[in-house]
Structure 1
Amino acid sequence: MTSRHDLPAFGRRTLLRGAALATAAGVAGAALPLMAPAAFASAADPDQLFRNGRFAEAERGYRRLLRENPENAHAAAQLGYIALLSNRFDAAETFLSRAVGLDSGDVVSKRRLAECFVRQDRHDRAVPLLRQTGDQRDAAFATVFAGLRGTPWRIRGAAGTRVPFYTLDPVPSVEASVNGGKPKKFLLDTYATLDLSPQVAEEAGLRALATVAGGVVDNRPVTLYLGVLDSFRIGDIEIRNIPVQWNDVQRPPLPDGSQPAGAFGTTIFYHFLTTMDYAGRALILRRKTKSRQQRPRAHDRLPLWLAGDHYPCTVGNLGDYGPRMVTVDTGGIGHALDTTVEIAEKIGMEVDYDHPIEQPGNKVYPITADRISLGSAVAHDVHGHAADKVFPGFPGPGQSAQFGFDLIANFTHEFFKPFAITFDYTEMSLSIARG
């Protein structure tokens, strides 16, 4: 799925980003300097606390502001956003609706309220909100959501399924079937929604209900075609009546040189208790249940937040710096870490300025980190990339302009290889266990 600013490319990462409601993550915010943990821990300003990922403290501050002034639209909007990040849908709907009622021009809150409904598969409630923003992309997705006939995201089949990885590199892939066809190879990427190649879309008989601009890749504009897929089967589980997109961007080839059929990630993952078992080389999907017995044992259970519709966030450390907010993006090819030059230099990482990787309007440099960690899951002497500039979905102090909060890093493919990672979007936790 692409971000609001469309298809960012980074180093060897060429997976397509989905588009569905990434704009729901957008928020105007100033780029702030990095702050040491001791500095932001004592901050009283809820906006500052929020930008530094101190969501519980920020929420208390916004509630205080709203008690003092019930017409404080900004406080209501932020309370709704914090709730949305944690999938607390009732609170998100209450406060985002209140924010829109107080400020009818608050387009960001309308998008976030639409995203609140989309995550609950209540797309019909999202349609009028997206049509009110005046944005062509929002209107395109409203058209697609209105094209969902009957109940969307109907899940059939087994209570759970385990599908072996067809490949581990360049990123994990599994077999899945589109509209009852033969199984095909799909890349797994937590930064993806459900994306098909144009050949697979044609074979499945898909019809584009809308199109949106998908940015520029290899100096040519990309068009995203949006439609509704009747059936997507992964192992013993079938999902019916779901939004889908396709385009002609070349994806990373499979080891045999063939092109994958597409990619899928977080929008499917959050409908299940999902484990990417890197060590055991399998994708495990379990139907959601309130029982904790289904949840796998793990060394750590970290907090999980979801920004937009496809940016999983948790807290991590770069050496002794942290814990601070990071993204979890399993689709990074050939490396374990993304950060910025500013952050890398601040914490003393080795930056290889002699071998820059040229990107449109940006330069990326190889880095080596002595140690990075998510809880007690630790990797040493890891290779990564540091970018001169921040772009959508990439960590850095300027990222507050997209998400409203700062990120220090993105943890990606190579970091996860010794582990099994489980995304629990009911309890909003990220579990990591060594294989």
Structure 2
Amino acid sequence: MNKQLTTKIMSALLCTGFLVSTLTACQAADSSSQQVSAKESEAEKTTLSSETLTAAENEHTREYYQKQLETAEQQYNRDTENEAYALQYAQALFSLGSFDQAQEIIAPLMNNKQPLPEASYLSAQIHYLNGNYDTAEELYNGLLEEHSDSFGQKATVGLQMVYYQTNQYSKAQELSMEDDDSTKPLLDMMQAFDSGDPYQIDWNGKEKTEIPFTITDPLPIIPIEVNGVKMNALIDTGGDNLVIDQKKTAELGIDTIAQDTGSFAGGNTADIGFGKAESLSMGGIDIHNIPVMIGPFDGFTDAFPDVDNIHAIIGTNVLQQFIPTMDYTTGQLVLRPRNEVGQSQLKEEQKTEEIAEKIPFTLASTHYMFAKGSINGYDGLNMFVDSGLAAEDDAGMILPEETMDLTDIPMPELEDAVGGGMGGSDYQEASFDVDSYGLGNLQLKNGRGFYFTGDTLDMYDDTGFITDALISHNYLKQYKWTIDFDAMDMTFSI
């Protein structure tokens, strides 16, 4: 039986190309093995070699970093005062997605009068992931001021990402990068806003807005206007901000400010542009000064034969301006102001709801939301929450081969890919049965999963930690899903 992937992934798909090493913690470990070991006077306190700290090509797997963790933990337990061992242990925990544990290990190092820059960098990364942007900014600025030679570029990229998440584009005017730096296109786009910060919202007298889905399956679609032009848009947390069909940019008057190459399903690539839209209207509210990504939409006609005029994607950073609810149960997107008023609205609404689960999440790179989950009883997995992928046989997650092996799922028979989306069809795919899977304790029984060839789920260079699974539309659509970007948790109601 043919398994058709009706819409390709939009996450590491769109942004891996230009955000390589944005928050890659393994770089800090390399420098720690050089700088910290110089401080040790005894041979038995020599740090692990850089070869043990940096994964070989194609070794970004849970098994690999679990072995690193075991070695690092043994050395740390033998000498808990050794700063190099503490850093290596914390780095191994970070690579596996155990961020709070990693922060606990380096906490004593951060209490020193002059913390090691490696400890400050790793701590800044964890604060960033947890949405503690003020603390992350302080740590990155400290690295830039005191350790510009060894950590200047990493701190600059970290500050850029903090300003991106907090809409402080005006501060990005002060940053500079080499032309060949992988994050330069993002910085060029941010600096094109000059003194005007993005996402200026006019509620037009509304307290909140409810936008009915045009359709819910295979993915939710809503009507929007960009620069006064009406069109339909997918809602996709695997996308970054507002993504626009490159064939519509001339009509919309959107210029390409910067350009890079994006990676898509099956390893395919395509040119991705960066620009700015003057206005985005949806549900009766108007948003001005919107960051835009520009990419190919050629496959969407085939993926959505019943809906025309699909030329946009509403990504995570648009939703992040609000307290959003993807209400699959009633078929609508609810947007509340991201302030105390919106929080009060949400609190009152949830008094009448049956909350199934509240799950913490982290936000990596520009938009990758991760939460802990389980597959076939195997707990603590790092799951990328990407609402923008759907398979026709109700598969609700994508797994790499390593996770399938880990959770005792045999590889199904592969077939050539068909279908639409941004990734083309130059790869193979198959679906499979899974006993149980889900986020936190919210487990679906007797479900379906999906596998396709390529290394799309190897997001380590963007995040600094492994990705065990991607969880998506056919799982999420069972619930009323609210994302709180201040509390950094997701609430699932039924």
Fold in common (TM above 0.5)? yes
What corresponds to 1:306 in structure 2? 363
Aligned mates of 2:72, 2:380 — CA distance in 1: 12
Aligned mates of 1:62, 1:164 — CA distance in 2: 47
What corresponds to 2:100 in structure 1? 56
What corresponds to 2:340 in structure 1? 290
Q: 2:192 aligns with which of 137, 147, 163?
A: 147
What corresponds to 1:317 in structure 2? 374
What corresponds to 1:366 in structure 2? 431
- Give yes or no for contact 2:267–2:455 (8 Å, CA) kept in 1: no
- Give yes or no for contact 1:27–1:402 (8 Å, CA) kept in 2: no
What secondary structure, in the 3-state scheme, does the structure 1 residue paired with 2:372 have?
strand
Q: Are positions 1:332 and 2:332 aligned together?
A: no
Distance 1:119 1:40, change over 3 A: farther
What secondary structure, in the 3-state scheme, does the structure 1 residue paired with 2:224 have?
strand
Aligned mates of 2:399, 2:264 — CA distance in 1: 23
Q: Are positions 1:414 and 2:460 aligned together?
A: no
C-alpha deviation, 1:124, in angstroms:
2.2
What corresponds to 1:46 in structure 2? 90
Aligned mates of 2:208, 2:292 — CA distance in 1: 23
CA deviations on 1:172-202 (whole Å, 9 max, x unpaired) are 11011111233x2101110112111134322
Aligned mates of 2:439, 2:6 — CA distance in 1: 24
What corresponds to 1:226 in structure 2? 274
Aligned mates of 1:79, 1:87 — CA distance in 2: 12
- Give yes or no for contact 2:215–2:221 (8 Å, CA) kept in 1: yes
Unaligned runs of 5+ in 2: 27-53, 77-88, 419-423
C-alpha deviation, 1:224, in angstroms:
2.4
Q: Are positions 1:255 and 2:255 aligned together?
A: no
* More off after superposition, 325-334 vs 120-129: 120-129
Aligned mates of 1:373, 1:247 — CA distance in 2: 31
C-alpha deviation, 1:79, in angstroms:
0.6
> Identity, % of aligned pairs?
20
C-alpha deviation, 1:294, in angstroms:
2.7
What corresponds to 1:190 in structure 2? 237
* Superposition map of 1:113-124 within 5 A: 113-124=159-170
What corresponds to 1:390 in structure 2? 455
What corresponds to 1:238 in structure 2? 286
- Give yes or no for contact 2:328–2:478 (8 Å, CA) kept in 1: yes
* Superposition map of 1:154-193 within 5 A: 154-157=200-203, 158-182=206-230, 184-192=231-239, 193=241
AA in 2 matched with 1:148: F
- Give yes or no for contact 1:127–1:143 (8 Å, CA) kept in 2: no
What corresponds to 1:342 in structure 2? 402
* More off after superposition, 98-107 vs 189-198: 98-107
Distance 1:421 1:220, change over 3 A: closer
| Larger-gyration structure (1/2) | 2
Distance 1:399 1:186, change over 3 A: closer
Aligned mates of 1:355, 1:169 — CA distance in 2: 24
AA in 1 matched with 2:129: L
Aligned mates of 1:325, 1:220 — CA distance in 2: 24
* Superposition map of 1:17-166 within 5 A: 17-19=13-15, 22-23=19-20, 24-28=22-26, 29-30=54-55, 31-34=60-63, 35=66, 45-68=89-112, 70-101=114-145, 102-106=147-151, 107-129=153-175, 131-135=176-180, 137-149=182-194, 150-157=196-203, 158-166=206-214
Aligned mates of 1:42, 1:282 — CA distance in 2: 48
- Give yes or no for contact 2:414–2:429 (8 Å, CA) kept in 1: no
AA in 2 matched with 1:385: F
C-alpha deviation, 1:366, in angstroms:
2.3
What secondary structure, in the 3-state scheme, does the structure 2 residue paired with 1:299 have?
strand
* More off after superposition, 80-89 vs 212-221: 212-221
Aligned mates of 1:221, 1:408 — CA distance in 2: 23
AA in 1 matched with 2:97: G
AA in 2 matched with 1:126: A
Aligned mates of 1:163, 1:93 — CA distance in 2: 35
C-alpha deviation, 1:380, in angstroms:
2.0
| TM-score, length basis structure 2 | 0.76
AA in 2 matched with 1:386: Y
Distance 1:313 1:40, change over 3 A: farther
What secondary structure, in the 3-state scheme, does the structure 1 residue paired with 2:296 have?
coil
C-alpha deviation, 1:264, in angstroms:
1.4
What corresponds to 2:8 in structure 1? 14
What corresponds to 1:270 in structure 2? 320
Q: 2:491 aligns with which of 426, 431, 434?
A: 431
What secondary structure, in the 3-state scheme, does the structure 2 residue paired with 1:351 have?
coil
* More off after superposition, 300-309 vs 105-114: 105-114
* More off after superposition, 40-49 vs 295-304: 40-49
Distance 1:213 1:228, change over 3 A: same
Higher helix share: 2
| TM-score, length basis structure 1 | 0.86
Aligned mates of 1:111, 1:401 — CA distance in 2: 14
CA deviations on 1:16-50 (whole Å, 9 max, x unpaired) are 544497443445453354349x9799786211222
C-alpha deviation, 1:108, in angstroms:
3.4
AA in 1 matched with 2:243: D
What corresponds to 1:375 in structure 2? 440
- Give yes or no for contact 1:301–1:431 (8 Å, CA) kept in 2: yes
What secondary structure, in the 3-state scheme, does the structure 1 residue paired with 2:310 have?
coil
What secondary structure, in the 3-state scheme, does the structure 2 residue paired with 1:125 have?
helix
AA in 2 matched with 1:96: Y
- Give yes or no for contact 2:266–2:426 (8 Å, CA) kept in 1: no
- Give yes or no for contact 2:256–2:273 (8 Å, CA) kept in 1: yes
Aligned mates of 1:341, 1:217 — CA distance in 2: 15
What corresponds to 1:402 in structure 2? 462
CA deviations on 1:199-228 (whole Å, 9 max, x unpaired) are 432222222222223458999863323221
What secondary structure, in the 3-state scheme, does the structure 2 residue paired with 1:57 have?
helix
Aligned mates of 2:191, 2:479 — CA distance in 1: 40
C-alpha deviation, 1:114, in angstroms:
0.5
AA in 1 matched with 2:320: Y
Distance 1:347 1:46, change over 3 A: same
What secondary structure, in the 3-state scheme, does the structure 2 residue paired with 1:104 have?
helix
